[in-house]
Amino acid sequence: MAVMSPKKEKLIEEAQRLALRGQLDKAIKAYEQVLALDPSAINQRQRLAELLVRAGRAEDARAEFEIIGKHYANNSFFLKAIAVYKQLQKLFPGDVAIAMMLAELNEKHGLVGNALAEYKQVYDHYEKAGQTEEALKILERMQDLDPQNIAIRLKLAESDFQVGNKVESYTAFVRLASLLHKRGDEAALSRLNVRIRQLFPENSTFMLDVLSGQVEEGNAANAVMAIQALLRSDPGDRRIWELIVAAYRKLNQPQRVKIACQHYLRFFPDELSPRKGLLECLVVERELDQALELLEGWEQDFVHAGAGADLLWIYQGLHGIDPVNMRVLEGLKRAYEAVGDKVGAEALEVRLDSYTPLGGKPPEEDLPVTAEPVAEPGEAAPPFELVELAEADALDLPDEDEIEIEIDDDIGFEGVEAKNESSVTLGDSWLDSVGEIFDSMATSPRSVRFGSDLDTEDAQSHHDLGVAFKEMGLYDEAISEFRQAAADPARKVECRVLQGACLREKGELEKAEGVLRALLNPGLNLDDACLVRYELMLTCTALEKGDEAAALLAEIDSVNPGYRDVRSRLDSAGWDKSLDFSDEDLQGFDLK
């Protein structure tokens, strides 16, 4: 521990004495001399800043507070830094730089609700000043901080549209709709769908884009039922068939992919994509004859469409099923030729020429291995592993001429009914709610967060920040933090008591007494009961209710000797420790 120099110690004593006398200018000069000797004396700088505030020198106080705040922030004492900048914010309530610093500090400490409230102030400033690009940047930071926040996502999407960022706006609306869909909020999703049709009348694929995004993000299971509903409403849309197939691929359900491809072909018999999907499924199922039969009619379509790589993959899969099948080898040779692999094609030509009719099959050894299985562009591997399906997974497949759109029983195309635009009306409250929902952040930091549960770490942070605010005389801010921390049942009593203490320090003695008396409860444990009585004793003392304060001290000392400074207070006041108390007097204590 560093030893304070005699000169510094003398200056501090002089500054404190002058401050008590109200000689603020002289006290300020004394503290300035202390800091000239030791610029790192943060506690003395804090006292200087507070005196500068009292002297009406707000700008000078700001300079000192900023030094203190940066010191705490740079040393990761975020709660203390927050408390310092809150003092600054009271001096300069409209200063966007202070609000921004508070937002960042709260974010670093994990106080999401507080950070959002501060960011909201910054956003309001930029929006009012017409600085739309800066306002959008703040909204983006808020969304990154709380990505599950519907209000922020909605405001960001609307704001992007208003400034002409239509691509970004549409993307934001799609992501918002995806979040609503995952939450099962169909009513809000329907209203949002109507809003999109207002803003983007030329775009008719909104829900399809939403569901496509879910499939790509790995939420295919949530999207399937809604995709089925789209199919019911418009089975002639090829994009919806592509999406249902992609969803079942993501879910690794090749049997459902197969049936979906069959139905897809019923509506689009000339499409190559469902043909490829059906053939892939037959490879997985090792249905060699069925695959070869289909390839007889489809092979040239693959070649003409430039899909030789797909054709090669299919024939390689069939070759893995039966490596000495003449039809497969001939098809494999044609596939090599289609992709321009002369080495593979020539090797197969040699093997086919050496075919001996007496044996009925070409020799198995030395088959061409020059080409690896070809995946689709962007894919790391073929869509399914070549494994046999378990017998329980097999489904009876409909014949081609029996395929109908009513396929619920086979592949589960059940779900919500497709919503017609005319069935949803756009109430006047919808557009108004865009602002109202967002504005709710200004009054309650936690109102912008979803879920009522407050985790232990969050509660601890609010508690600690409340203590820091209380120590710096920011009682309203401290009460707000203690109120949030009280959501944790383990610290509810303590936080209520601290709120009462803040009211007392604010000078609202009657309110403090009412809060603390309301906490006197027979169910309290010993520590909480002592804490409530101790703070109530301090409040009674401030209200000049000496006898009641003495009784509270004696109650505490009787059941918990050594608690804080209770004994010394009793001794200094000359009160007798041996006061008798009945069981009724001590009923608030848990003495078990």
| Closest by CA position to 244, among listed 91, 407, 364 | 407
In this predicted model, what pLDDT tens digit does every residue of 215-261 receive, in sequence order? 888 888 878 888 888 888 888 889 999 999 999 999 988 889 999 99
In this predicted model, what pLDDT tens digit does every residue of 162-209 receive, in sequence order? 889 999 998 888 888 888 878 878 788 778 888 888 888 877 788 888
Q: What is the identity of the amino acid at 6?
A: P
Is residue 298 within 8 A of residue 275, CB to CB? The reply is yes
Which is higher by pLDDT, 326 or 355? Answer: 326
**C-beta atoms surrounding 346 within 10 Å:** 15
pLDDT of residue 457: 61
pLDDT of residue 188: 83
Taking 70 as the threshold, does the pLDDT of residue 26 lie above it?
yes
pLDDT band at 358 (very low <50, low <70, confident <90, very high): very low
In this predicted model, what pLDDT tens digit does every residue of 260-274 receive, in sequence order? 999 999 999 999 999
DSSP per-residue letters across 467-511: HHHHHTT-HHHHHHHHHHHTTSGGGHHHHHHHHHHHHHHTT-HHH
| Closest by CA position to 283, among listed 310, 246, 248 | 310
| Closest by CA position to 181, among listed 193, 170, 171, 169 | 193
Q: Which residues does 445 contact at the CB level (< 8 Å), separation at least 6?
A: 113, 114, 116, 117, 480, 484
What CA–CA distances, in Å, run from 378 to 41, 335, 375, 446, 591?
Answer: 61, 21, 8, 43, 71
Least confident of 55-64, 81-90, 437-446, 552-561: 437-446
Which is higher by pLDDT, 530 or 364? Answer: 530
Residue 61's region, left for phi above 0, alpha for psi from -120 to 50, else beta, is: alpha
Please report how many Cα atoms fall inside a 13 Å half-sphere around the Cα of residue 361, on the Cβ side.
Answer: 9
CA 433 to chain centre: 22
pLDDT band at 119 (very low <50, low <70, confident <90, very high): very high
Q: Tell which CATH classification among 2.30.110.10, 3.30.1490.20, 3.40.190.10, 1.25.40.10 matches the domain 453-573.
A: 1.25.40.10
| Distance in angstroms (rounded) separating the CA atoms of residues 589 and 350 | 98
pLDDT of residue 183: 82
Q: Which residues does 249 contact at the CB level (< 8 Å), separation at least 6?
A: 257, 383, 384
pLDDT of residue 308: 92
Q: What is the identity of the amino acid at 524?
A: L
Is residue 31 within 8 A of residue 61, CB to CB? The reply is no
Taking 70 as the threshold, does the pLDDT of residue 579 lie above it?
no
Please report how many Cα atoms fall inside a 13 Å half-sphere around the Cα of residue 174, on the Cβ side.
Answer: 21
pLDDT of residue 382: 39
pLDDT band at 361 (very low <50, low <70, confident <90, very high): low
Taking 60 as the threshold, does the pLDDT of residue 443 lie above it?
no
Residue 416: both structure tokens together: 């919500």
**Average predicted confidence (pLDDT) for the chain:** 79
In this predicted model, what pLDDT tens digit does every residue of 528-545 receive, in sequence order? 999 999 999 999 999 999
Taking 50 as the threshold, does the pLDDT of residue 402 lie above it?
no
Taking 50 as the threshold, does the pLDDT of residue 449 lie above it?
no
pLDDT of residue 487: 86
pLDDT of residue 302: 92
Percentage of the chain beyond pLDDT 90 is 44
In this predicted model, what pLDDT tens digit does every residue of 65-98 receive, in sequence order? 999 999 999 999 999 999 999 999 999 998 999 9
| Distance in angstroms (rounded) separating the CA atoms of residues 263 and 269 | 10
Percentage of the chain beyond pLDDT 70 is 79
| Distance in angstroms (rounded) separating the CA atoms of residues 92 and 106 | 19
| Distance in angstroms (rounded) separating the CA atoms of residues 494 and 517 | 14
Taking 80 as the threshold, does the pLDDT of residue 44 lie above it?
yes
Q: What is the identity of the amino acid at 238?
A: R
Taking 70 as the threshold, does the pLDDT of residue 154 lie above it?
yes
Residue 61: both structure tokens together: 């106080």
Please report how many Cα atoms fall inside a 13 Å half-sphere around the Cα of residue 18, on the Cβ side.
Answer: 18
CB-based burial of residue 41 (10 Å sphere; 0-12 exposed, 13-18 middle, 19+ buried)? middle
pLDDT band at 384 (very low <50, low <70, confident <90, very high): very low
Taking 50 as the threshold, does the pLDDT of residue 365 lie above it?
no
In this predicted model, what pLDDT tens digit does every residue of 483-527 receive, in sequence order? 988 888 888 889 999 999 999 999 999 999 998 998 888 788 999
Model-level pTM? 0.56
User: Phi and psi for 370 in degrees, rounded to 5?
Assistant: -75, -25
Q: Is the dihedral of CA 449, 452, 455, 460 positive or negative?
A: positive
Q: Is the dihedral of CA 453, 497, 475, 69 positive or negative?
A: negative
Please report how many Cα atoms fall inside a 13 Å half-sphere around the Cα of residue 187, on the Cβ side.
Answer: 2
